[in-house]
């Protein structure tokens, strides 16, 4: 197993993983979005079996930026082999190297298995997460 930065050629495999998470995304859209996204992939036996995206978030109320894990998925056939742990560990190392003082992750309420995983990695629930769409996805696509 290895972890590396995602590349445009990884888009079809990442799209398949996103579908497992419930987000049907065409590979061409994944490839386009990768250009502006920090993403890591985990390979197992030469195949991409997991993906994590992260972003650095400047904040005024802390002495350093935060790192936000915005998505993590490991393919069902590769779960419980340490890939998610390896991806999060690498994300944490990147956050430290960039001077971040915190790392946060959000997880949908129904993903109780993920919540247990994050707690096991030392993450604690410290707030509620609120979300509101400001643009319909179809409208955003038309403007690009």
Number of domains in the chain: 1
The residues near 125 (Cβ < 8 Å, ≥ 6 apart) are: 115
Whether the per-residue pLDDT at 143 is higher than 70: the answer is no
Q: Which residues pair with 113 in a beta bridge?
A: none
Helix, strand or coil, per DSSP, at residue 140 = helix
CATH no. for residue 44?
Answer: 3.40.630.30
Reported as a pLDDT band with limits 50, 70 and 90, residue 136 is confident
Helix, strand or coil, per DSSP, at residue 82 = coil
Range of the domain at 79: 2-143
pLDDT digits (tens, 9 = 90+) for 34-87: 998 999 999 999 999 999 999 999 999 999 999 999 999 999 999 999 999 999
Q: Where are the alpha helices (DSSP H) in the chain?
A: 11-21, 27-34, 83-97, 112-120, 137-143
């Amino acid at each position: 197993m290895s972890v590396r930065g995602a590349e445009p050629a990884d888009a079809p495999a990442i799209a398949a993983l996103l579908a497992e998470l419930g987000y049907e995304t065409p590979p061409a859209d994944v490839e386009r979005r990768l250009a502006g996204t920090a993403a890591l992939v985990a390979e197992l036996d030469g195949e991409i079996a997991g993906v994590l995206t992260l972003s650095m978030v400047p904040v005024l109320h802390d002495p350093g930026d935060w790192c936000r894990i915005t998505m993590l998925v490991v393919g069902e056939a590769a779960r419980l082999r340490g890939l998610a742990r390896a991806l999060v560990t690498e994300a944490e190392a990147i956050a430290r190297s960039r001077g971040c003082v915190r790392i946060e992750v959000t997880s949908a309420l129904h993903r109780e298995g993920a919540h247990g995983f994050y707690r096991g990695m030392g993450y604690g629930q410290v707030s509620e997460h609120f979300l509101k769409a400001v643009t319909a996805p179809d409208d955003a696509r038309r403007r690009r």
